Chains A and B, each alone.
Chain A
Amino acid sequence: MSTDLRPLLSVKDISKRYGSHIGCAGVSFDLYPGEVMGIVGESGSGKSTLLNCLVGHLTPDTGEVVFDTRVDGPKDTTTMSESERRMLGRTDWAFVHQHARDGLRMGVSAGGNVGERLMAVGERHYGDIRDKATDWLERVEIDAARVDDRPTTFSGGMQQRLQIARNLVTGPRLVFMDEPTGGLDVSVQARLLDLLRGLVRDMGLSAIIVTHDLAVVRLLADRLMVMKSGRVVEAGLTDQVLDDPQHAYSQLLVSSVLQV
């Protein structure tokens, strides 16, 4: 059977306090290449705090985030230099924000938004950049004719797809997403999910997806972590956690939605 031996990301005992208030506490897990992990839990349970600690937007009080870098192998990203981590953020890592406008440059054309990330990793040939940008717009089902339009003229769903194109164009190995389908209406969500699912499989991506939507994790995630009050209360195979939840809180969470 084919399973990788070394985790892509190894998270050990991550905690973050806001003053005396717990953001998240004692979170550990390993993520293997090609795995998609979902994080669910009620509002305020620490999902975004955890995600932001993992990508370095927040500095955790304790713990390690060890990433298997291409060049140097496993490295703790919480202690690496700011410039090194920023480079990771442009190459091997991608972060899809809940609000597309936080992840896009609204004053720059759609093509420019995608091309910018390519330039950040050293691509210089204008024609190549434009071709790649156009190709990615099509992959996320945005009409190539809109390449010169600004994202301000796009619908919410289109903006979100543009943000995904911008993030994936550099071929990252690990994608972090915070509520990628939040704020979109249901049919737009379904389309986006289908798109993400295809991309994850075709590109062999690993991903960590924070969401409150159990249907989203059922569809996208191999594994699931349930958080409550900053702590992981249950973790396992997605369909097992959803169909046979063990913890009282997971049972409540699953039983409070109609059907997933």
Chain B
Amino acid sequence: MIELKDVSKTFTLHNQGSAVIEVINDVSFHVAPGECVALTGASGAGKSTLMRMIYGNYLTQSGSIRIGDVDIVKAEPRTVIAMRREVLGYVSQFLRVVPRVPTLDVVADPLRALGVSAEEARARAQELLTRLNIPERLWTLSPTTFSGGEQQRVNIARGFVHAYPAMLLDEPTASLDATNREVVLSLIEEAKAGGAAIIGIFHDEAARERVCDREIDVSVFTPGLSSCSGSIGYQKETAA
């Protein structure tokens, strides 16, 4: 479902002496439907960068990133937008809120964009907000003023409201208590059972072991950064 081939990324900071940061060099791997793969590696290794490249948020200089039959690297903006609407979900580390929009609509929004009726979309949103223990009195408020953990749960509800065939999760369990962490892990397990191909970043090792089938150590592909895992399972060949 998700297939990376010889993917590389450098940042050129034109206004800082044209400094070039090589972050990812020659990554190849694939994720099958129903599989969850963890990206691991030290802070700064490029986990979030790689995830953003797969989402089309960061530009990829070379290689290909196929989601189904679309190569995100070469796709036009409108194709990427259609992919994000229909196929590719992303739970980022932080919720980016549109001012004034009530939580229930924030969560229902991805379904509305797919043409689902307001009623059905809201019902599904309510179901998720309830599961994620967001008190009903908050549903009509904008999440702008919510606590970090509440915002994160709204973000997760929004990310899981549609059954995306491919999902990217950047630290979905960070800043959650044990109960809500459990809910999120069950959501991931259910998405896998439903056939979603998932790539996740989890600092929470126990969570990773529970939901992930494989790990890919991104440090291996970071020029100038040596692998900190040392495990054979993380080598390029097995990752591909």
Which A positions have Cβ atoms within 8 angstroms of B? 1-3, 32, 35, 190-191, 193-194, 197, 201, 219, 222-223, 236-240, 243-244, 246-248, 251-252, 255
B86 proximal to A (CB < 8 A): yes
A104 and B32 alpha carbons, distance in the complex (Å): 57
B144 to chain A, nearest CB (A): 10
Q: How far is the CB of A202 from chain B (nearest CB, A)?
A: 10
Q: A240-B59, A243-B52, A244-B11 are in contact. List 12 more A-B contacts (CB 8 A).
A: A1-B79, A1-B83, A3-B82, A194-B99, A194-B101, A223-B78, A237-B77, A237-B81, A240-B57, A243-B57, A244-B58, A252-B15
Q: How far is the CA of A219 from the CA of B100 in the complex (A)?
A: 13
Bound Cα distance A238, B59 (Å): 12
Whether B100 and A237, one on each chain, are in contact in the complex, defined by CB atoms closer than 8 angstroms, is no
With both chains docked as a complex, state the minimum distance between the C-beta of A243 and any C-beta of chain B, in angstroms: 6
Q: How large is the interface on B (under 10, 10 to 19, 20 to 34, 35 or more residues)?
A: 20 to 34
Within 8 Å by CB of A2, from B59, B82, B99, lies B82
Given contacts A191-B100, A236-B59, contact A222 B52 (CB under 8 A): no
Residue of chain B at shortest CB distance from A222: B81
Majority DSSP secondary structure for residues of B touching A: mixed
* B98 contacts partner chain A, Cβ-Cβ < 8 Å: yes
> Given A3-B79, A222-B81, is A240 in contact with B58 using a C-beta cutoff of 8 Å?
yes
Q: Inter-chain contact count A-B, CB under 8 Å?
A: 63
> Which among B15, B79, B87, B99 has the greatest number of chain A C-beta atoms within 10 A?
B99
Q: A190 and B77: CB pair below 8 A?
A: no
Q: Interface of chain A, helix or strand or loop or mixed?
A: helix
Contacts of B87 in A (CB 8 A): 1
Give the residues in chain B near A32, CB-CB below 8 Å.
78
Which residue in chain B gives the minimum CB-CB distance to A249? B14
The answer to whether B78 and A35 touch across the interface, beta carbons within 8 angstroms, is yes
The verdict on B13 contacting chain A, using a C-beta distance below 8 Å, is yes
Chain B residues lying within 8 Å of A246, measured Cβ to Cβ, are 12, 59
The complex places the Cα of A92 from the Cα of B13 at a distance, in Å, of 43
Q: Which residues of A contact B70 (CB under 8 A)?
A: 1
Shortest CB-to-CB span from A224 to chain B, Å, is: 9
Residue of A whose beta carbon sits closest to that of B49: A244
Cβ contacts under 8 Å, A222 to chain B: 77-78, 81
B166 proximal to A (CB < 8 A): no
Interface flag for B56 (CB, 8 Å): yes
Q: Are A1 and B86 in contact (CB under 8 A)?
A: yes
Please give, as numbers and ranges, the residues of chain A lying within 8 Å of B91 by CB-CB distance: none
Q: A237: which B residues are within 8 A, CB to CB?
A: 56-57, 77, 80-81
Who on chain B is nearest to A260 by CB? B96
Q: How far is the CA of A252 from the CA of B18 in the complex (A)?
A: 12
Is the CB–CB distance between B15 and A243 below 8 Å?
no
Q: Assess the B57–A219 pair: CB atoms within 8 A.
A: no
Within 8 A of A (CB), among B200-231: none
* Closest beta carbon of chain B to A189's beta carbon, Å: 9
In the complex, chain A residues whose CB is within 8 Å of the CB of B112:
201
Residues in A with CB closer than 8 Å to B13 are: 251
**Of the candidates A191, A194, A251, which one forms a contact with B15 in the assembled complex, judged by CB atoms under 8 Å apart?**
A251
Closest to A187 in B: B99
List, in ascending order, chain A residues with CB within 8 A of B15's CB. Answer: 248, 251-252, 255
CA distance in complex: A201, B112 (Å)? 10
Q: How far is the CA of A239 from the CA of B113 in the complex (A)?
A: 18
